[in-house]
């Protein structure tokens, strides 16, 4: 089974046409890459903390333990989301849903932002609205996702304008 985030925009469009929505689950490769980086940092910090002798009441041992426990929690959180096939992004006829809770309708969407650090901001029309961020774990080619979403937004705006003109 192909993970939607690893597919090409044409497959996304086909899925949207056929199913009415496209679900981009968290991509395993991106999660394992992030976890590898986290555990590399843990290994480095542990090596540095054990390279010198500890004195009585030395706080480095507590810091080292905190780093390991944090890495364990992050690892558990990421792998549980991966195992549950947690959706990074859902695109449907109503708008975008990031994760399970954050969503924005096409009519409320101001713009698809520019990629920042592999993440894609979604900017609402409302100046006071909170920017939503599509995580880098959603798609392998985030630039293609950005272009695809911009095209969908343009199509929805054209459809809204046509509907408004026909009702006049």
Taking alpha carbons only, the member of 50, 90, 79 closest to residue 67 is 50
Phi, psi of 122 (to 5 degrees): -115, 120
Average pLDDT taken over every residue of the chain = 82
- Partners of 111 in the beta sheet? 123
Which of 49, 163, 24 has the alpha carbon at shortest distance from 107?
163
Q: What is the pLDDT of residues 10-58, one digit of tens each?
A: 999 999 999 999 988 877 766 677 778 788 888 877 776 666 665 565 6
CATH number belonging to domain 4-25+87-163: 2.30.29
d(CA 90, CA 148): 13
What is the reported pLDDT for 75? 83
Q: Does position 136 have pLDDT exceeding 80, yes or no?
A: yes
Exposure pattern of 13-31 as b/e (b: 16+ CB <10 Å)?
eebbeeeeebbbbbbbebb
Residue 1 pLDDT greater than 90, yes or no:
no
Cβ density class 39-64: b for 16+ within 10 Å, e for less: eeebeebeeebeeeeeeeeeeeeeeb
85 pLDDT band, cuts 50/70/90, is: low
Residue in the block written with tokens 């590898």: 36
| Token pair recorded at residue 85 | 């096939």
Which pLDDT belongs to residue 149? 95
Residue where the block lists tokens 């981009």: 24
Spatial contact of 11 and 147, defined as CB atoms under 8 Å apart = no
Q: Phi, psi at residue 64, to the nearest 5°?
A: -60, -40
Counted residue by residue, the chain has a size of 168
Ordered by start, the domain boundaries in the chain are 4-25+87-163, 30-83
- Cα 15 from Cα 10, distance rounded (Å): 9
Average pLDDT over residues 103-127: 91
């Amino acid at each position: 089974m192909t993970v939607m985030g690893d597919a090409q925009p044409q497959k996304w469009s086909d899925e949207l046409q056929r199913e009415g929505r496209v679900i981009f689950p968290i991509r395993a490769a991106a999660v394992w890459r992030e976890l590898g980086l986290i555990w590399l940092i843990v290994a480095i910090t542990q090596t540095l903390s054990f390279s010198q002798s500890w004195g009585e009441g030395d706080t480095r041992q507590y810091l080292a333990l905190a780093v390991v426990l944090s890495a364990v929690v992050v690892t558990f959180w990421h792998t549980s989301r991966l195992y549950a096939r947690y959706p990074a992004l859902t695109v449907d006829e109503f708008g975008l849903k990031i994760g399970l809770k954050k969503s924005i309708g096409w009519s409320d969407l101001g713009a698809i932002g520019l990629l920042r650090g592999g993440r894609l901001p979604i900017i609402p029309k409302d100046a006071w609205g909170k920017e939503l961020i599509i995580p880098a774990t959603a798609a392998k080619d985030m630039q293609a996702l950005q272009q695809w979403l911009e095209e969908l937004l343009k199509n929805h705006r054209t459809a809204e304008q046509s509907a408004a003109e026909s009702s006049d």
